[in-house]
Structure 1
């Protein structure tokens, strides 16, 4: 047991600390003496009594990187109760560090001068190691140790913004390995891994310290090249082609050659999103693959693509003008109860008007808004407009649609949190819809977003379920409140047995997990009745109302 100055009347507290695996202490800041209760040896050493009976010895045990933050806690003002909670590392007698979680309180005199500290510590090394491992798995490829696709997309997004702001030329590189399936068939998984690792090493050696590499798919690597002009890009491509042509990977007694294709894109130029850059790199890679083995191509837009781009720029200007001139509005479509057929809430669909007051088709401006990054501005407008309507009408319930960019936009989430602060009843009347495709881009990010907005009191709906590749198992991990069945399963429901089976299975899982279901694209009463029989909770479609610009039309 550790050092103790506690009398026998505290025996129960001592036993409780031991049972919980906690250690309590009191640090008299005037005398600098520290008293301990509990298994103190677990904090500092494997056996024997630790020599940590004063503040000086205790401070000497704290990891240097954590020391400043830990000592700063002594300055917590009395007005805040003097309470604190923190985690830091303590050096044990074997020189290893253990992570501890500490919760305590600082007692100060009338002048705010700290007098003593009382706290409870618990070893959390195992949890911190698991968190670090999970964080690594979330951000890095397990085989190569390079960034995964989501994190490389983040790096590409940052480079794009930096390039636009400071007019710095950047480039993105996509390297695809050919023939891995044949290698797997002939030699097995380990040989494929050896080729992938070898390719990663070739790319890494060719890059500069300011560049960023990631593995974006089983047979693909990506690299963000900072401050890289066309001459620098051409030089890098030449070196990579030469290395992939010359170098070999040895697997057992076999010498394996590389078959690679390389696509590159320069930006910012006329691109506006990281996804667009990755798409262009894929196009260039396909061009390289058509040329033969170990070839490289830089993306060059065709004249037709340039023409389409000019038209898209005109639409982007329309969007900006609509946002500036208050020409953005909602169209509302009712979502009705399958039992009462009365509206339960309304889905809001963002619309814009041109200079003449005519509506611009959603199919025209939404893809452009997504490509040029203007979808964030539209989503911010949608949030503000929906909140205003909910404040004006306490009976109203609305859902708003969110883009992929907004799901990862902390400033949008901060705005949502500020709108809802102290207004839980409003939060309960607001639903946020994200499509299945958006959810699957990064399941971990989506799950975090869903959990965060649900903590604020909002509901979350997974839209267009069934249109992508989300499995029912992955659906369980998202903990959404509503799942909207894609219209492809609803149209001709009575004629397609597979659609009925899909709906039944989803309803069965909804009953098990506890989410509600909405069927989209309901256009006939026969379909509505069949969906209600299967247990679908809500219905949406032209049979119950087309999107309208007002709620009372």
Structure 2
């Protein structure tokens, strides 16, 4: 209460309060609701850049300075607070002396009379314009390319996913165009990177002029843009692509007071006829773009399927329908492969591997249908079912720790993460026994998105493993960014490692990188006692492969371990294990 504060505090205490407010930049106020008068303590003139006589002295004059878009929310907050239903805490914009709007964080408490009527509101205003600008900047960069101002790759992919879903649902056809600036590297070399950036910005602006109103432009990265034509025939896509070529070609670009002519090449793919996922559409459109560049540049090339590809596509459609039916009829299952301690051969965890029963009851390995599932955009549904089955078995077998694989698409699928959260948030006993595996190549495809996913999964209490480690180009920085728990060395470096010295050196280097960050390591594809002994001596923590057991649906060793409280060990001479020095 400013009035009571001034009455009850001596001058030295009031000076101390004023000094504290001035140091923080905050301003304290008291609003007498009966007389509508406002009193201020602190540098209100500095906060709003107002002359002393212009400082609001009534609630009405203060409201006149609040941004009209924000005033209704402030009034609702006040009304709820006066009714005792909520705290008074809100943010809004206030017009300063220069006519610009500044953000403030306003919070306070109302004083009520003996009859329960609100009489006085005392609060504090805190300037938060810099924070709001930073938040707006981060929000902008999450969706838009900083250079061109168009959608970034992530937002473009989300828009393309939506266009694909709509095309499939309503039986429409559309097209995705990949537009590449020709010889951008030469422009960068001859005129500098600033000139190259200027060309990219201008090309983006000319793209906007070339496309239709409903089409979407985004930046794929480097010298490439993407264009989503949600509804388009092959003739319309070809016509727009030609218009893009002409618009870029017909007017020279002004660079460092020089006029140069720039051209672009275009590749496009039709959906859903030729592709059903955004990842696949990006790849096929860029493949067509490479064909255009190889054909002399400044031209358009559609993505075309060969006769063999057409036959494969028809086969894929048949497999896709079989997978849909298997999901409906509950013919999807998990097979388990043991992962053992390298020193004792005792079971540490299991990996859940996807299997499907055909209509005759025969087991179909994942390799027979997963590539098709990914191509047809069904992998999210499959990964959701795998999660359900894995959690059911974690409940059924409380002694096991389980690793499940998910695709790169699912790693950026928020609905899958929400499903995981809803299942394990109230069951920390399940979360601590679940390991989520993502492949190295998928993790590196979008490192920032993967890092966010890994962080979210680990916050739930689960662990995260990088599968096929070594197949990509992971660096020390990448591993620090991802903060995973487990590294699974790619099986191609393990098979035949006894005879292959290069693989031995490579594994030692990979192992050193993983150990530097204190990650648990797993070697896949271990098929002989000699390989197991060698890897144990090198310091690998865990081993997995046919030497210890093939994947099985409901294997006896899981059931037996569940029935009796004993240790399950797998093949491997104890003499060999005893030789290993970890």
TM-score (norm 2): 0.83
Aligned to 1:486: 490
Runs of 5+ consecutive residues of structure 2 not aligned to the other structure: 558-582
- Confirm or deny that 1:507 pairs with 2:515: yes
Distance (Å, rounded) in 2 between the aligned partners of 1:317 and 1:190: 51
Aligned to 1:131: 135
Distance (Å, rounded) in 1 between the aligned partners of 2:537 and 2:127: 54
- Compute the displacement of 1:320 (Å): 0.6
Aligned to 1:498: 506
- Confirm or deny that 1:326 pairs with 2:326: no
- Confirm or deny that 1:261 pairs with 2:265: yes
- Compute the displacement of 1:310 (Å): 0.8
Aligned to 1:350, which of 328, 343, 354? 354
Q: Equivalent residues in 2 for 1:69-148 (5 A)?
A: 69-74=73-78, 76=80, 82-83=86-87, 86-102=90-106, 120-148=124-152
- Confirm or deny that 1:180 pairs with 2:184: yes
Aligned to 2:242: 238
- Compute the displacement of 1:328 (Å): 0.6
Distance (Å, rounded) in 1 between the aligned partners of 2:77 and 2:416: 32
Residues 182, 298 of structure 2: 8 Å contact kept? no
Aligned to 2:194: 190
Aligned to 1:368: 372
Q: Secondary structure at the match of 1:484?
A: strand
Distance (Å, rounded) in 2 between the aligned partners of 1:102 and 1:517: 52
Q: 1:261 to 1:425 in 2, by over 3 A?
A: same
Distance (Å, rounded) in 1 between the aligned partners of 2:105 and 2:410: 34
Residues 335, 347 of structure 1: 8 Å contact kept? yes
Tell me which moved more, 305-314 or 496-505: 496-505
Aligned residue pairs: how many? 548
- Confirm or deny that 1:149 pairs with 2:150: no
Aligned to 2:218, which of 201, 214, 217? 214
Larger Rg: 2
Runs of 5+ consecutive residues of structure 1 not aligned to the other structure: none
- Compute the displacement of 1:519 (Å): 3.2
Aligned to 2:466: 462
Q: 1:79 to 1:4 in 2, by over 3 A?
A: closer
Tell me which moved more, 185-194 or 346-355: 185-194
Q: Secondary structure at the match of 1:65?
A: coil
Distance (Å, rounded) in 2 between the aligned partners of 1:39 and 1:391: 62
Distance (Å, rounded) in 1 between the aligned partners of 2:225 and 2:203: 9
- Compute the displacement of 1:292 (Å): 2.4
Aligned to 1:205, which of 184, 188, 209? 209
Distance (Å, rounded) in 2 between the aligned partners of 1:114 and 1:393: 60
Q: 1:344 to 1:179 in 2, by over 3 A?
A: same
Q: Equivalent residues in 2 for 1:266-345 (5 A)?
A: 266-345=270-349
- Compute the displacement of 1:550 (Å): 1.8
- Compute the displacement of 1:324 (Å): 0.5
Aligned to 2:9: 8
